């Protein structure tokens, strides 16, 4: 199934993340429900709002880079 990319404004991305239980700190980093910085599962780095992606059909929040996108599609080929 083809999935199209949806690009959200910074404010819409913030609303979506808050709906999923995340928060944004003063530095622009995404905070998990326990108020720790959310960590990208592929880079093991904190995720900034401006760099965040949520893949269609998943709840995985990650840094958006060619490497992380490749890793995501490698690990989840049918998503």
Tens-digit pLDDT profile for residues 10-60:
999 999 999 999 999 999 999 998 999 999 999 999 999 999 998 877 888
At 18 the pLDDT is 94
**Alpha-carbon distance 30 to 51, whole Å?**
10
Whole-structure pTM value: 0.84
Residue with tokens 């429900």: 33
**Alpha-carbon distance 49 to 69, whole Å?**
16
Q: Which residue has the higher pLDDT, 75 or 48?
A: 48
């Amino acid at each position: 199934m083809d999935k199209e990319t949806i690009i959200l404004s910074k404010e819409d991305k913030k609303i979506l993340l808050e709906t999923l239980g995340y928060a944004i700190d003063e530095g622009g980093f995404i905070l998990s429900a326990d108020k720790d910085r959310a960590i990208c599962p592929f880079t093991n780095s904190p995720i900034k709002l401006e760099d965040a992606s949520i893949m269609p059909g998943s709840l995985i929040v990650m840094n958006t880079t060619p490497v992380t996108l490749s890793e995501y599609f490698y690990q989840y080929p049918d998503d």
